[in-house]
Structure formats: C-alpha cells, structure tokens
Amino acid sequence: MAVSHLTSPQSVDAFKNTPVKTKENPEKAAQEAGNSFEMMLRRIVSVAQASEDKESASKLAQKRIDALMDESVLDMMDENPEETTPEEPQPFLMPRVAQNDGPPPEVSKKQQVEKAYGPRATKGDFDSIIEKASEAHGVDADLIRSVIKTESGFQAGSTSPKGAMGLMQLMPGTAKDLGVRNAYDPFENVMGGTKYLKRLLDRYHGDTPKALAAYNWGPGNVDKNSGRMPEETRNYISRVTRHYRDIKT
C-alpha cells in the first residue's frame, strides 16, 4: 500500500469529519478520538517503513502527521471545548447583627414629657391645658397654676419620694380613682388634679385653705385632726397662697 494513499487529503478529511458525540459522553468521545488518531499514526509509520524510498516516505509521513495534528486534532479540540459548569451566584448576605441587639427600648411617657418640656418648664408651657381644666371643672386657672408651681415646679415628669406623680403630684391610688391612666401625661394629670381639687373645694364649701390642706394632708386627716395640722401642710398652704397672690398682682 502506498504512503500517498493512506495519507491523502481524502483520508485526512474522512478522519476529520468523523462525528464525535462529546455532549453525550465527553470522556468516551475523547478516548475514541485518541484511539483513532493513534491508529492513523501507526498506519502512516508502517507504510513509510515498508516503502522502498524510506527517506522520501519518512518526510511525507511526517508532513501527513503534522497535517493530522494541525487540521484534525486541534480543530476537533476547538469545536468541542471542555464544558465547565459555571459557579452558581452566591446570595447577598446581610451583615450579622449581634445576638444581644434587639428593638430599641420603649420610651416611657414620663421620658417623653421630660424631653418635650425639659427640667425648666414654665406655666406658659401648659397654659392651654390649665385653661381647659379650669373651664371643665370650674376652678380658678391661677389657683391651678399655684398648686402646680408648689407641687412640681411645672416639671411634668417629676416623682416625689412617696410616689406622687406629674404636674399636680397625684398619688397612684388617687390617680386611679380619678380615671387618670397616665399621670405623667400633662393633660391627664392636670385634668385629674383639677377634678380632685374641685371635689375638695365643694367638700369644704369653697374654703380654699382647708381644701389645700386636704390636697396635701388628705381629707380624712383634715376632718379628724384639723386643729393639729402639721407644719409641712401649713407651709404648703402658705406657698400656694403666695404664688396665687403673685400671679394676681
């Protein structure tokens, strides 16, 4: 068999056009392609060795081998590149929050009032509330202001050592009896405190000093021990009266 027949362009084209099913089984296809290429090389070499003109046959065989590699194998590799699976996109992860982080602490009504009015609030900050309470319960607005000035100094978030709360320093039991749900709310506090003051004024038939004494000391004590009023209560009445007089003048 002649070398030119085995390594003719027709033979190369036949090898080059051999279908390779790389997508179905890439490893098997690569193995079959390698085996076919190796078989062609062996045939080319064996024919060259059998030729009488070994030098010419050897040169021709080398050219055909180069042609096979350049035109067939490399083309086949380009046409069937190794398939790779793209990496799946990683989801975006939010930064982790510390385990002890939670919702912000709830701000109490007392803290809201303190922030709104500050430690140096004046009667002017609560004028509209005082006027409404005065109109609702029929109590002199300036008397309400004088009680607030004496009780809390217009500090809506204040609490006494005994537990009295807010502008008019309502005790928890008294606030509950008056229907005051939040004693640190200026509106609720003044409305409730004025309502209580009105009850005392009615109880003592408009006697303001006695009503103030009952507001500070308690109506039960005033009823039973009016002749033994403590100094604290007497001072309380004096201070409220002085503030009231200062407002009026």
Instruction: Report, as residue numbers or ranges, the catalytic residues.
Output: 151
**Integer Cα distance of 230 and 218 in angstroms:** 12
- Of 40, 13, 31, 30, nearest to 80 (Cα)? 30
Residue spans of alpha helices (H) in 51-124: 54-67, 74-79, 109-117
Nearby residues of 64 by Cβ (< 8 Å), 6 or more positions away: 3, 6, 7, 12, 44
SS3 184: coil
Q: What 3-state DSSP class applies to 174?
A: helix
Q: What distance in Å separates the CA atoms of residue 43 and residue 50, rounded to the nearest whole number?
A: 11
Helix spans in the chain (H): 3-6, 9-16, 26-50, 54-67, 74-79, 109-117, 127-137, 141-151, 172-178, 186-203, 208-217, 219-225, 231-248
Contact 235, 219 (CB under 8 A): no
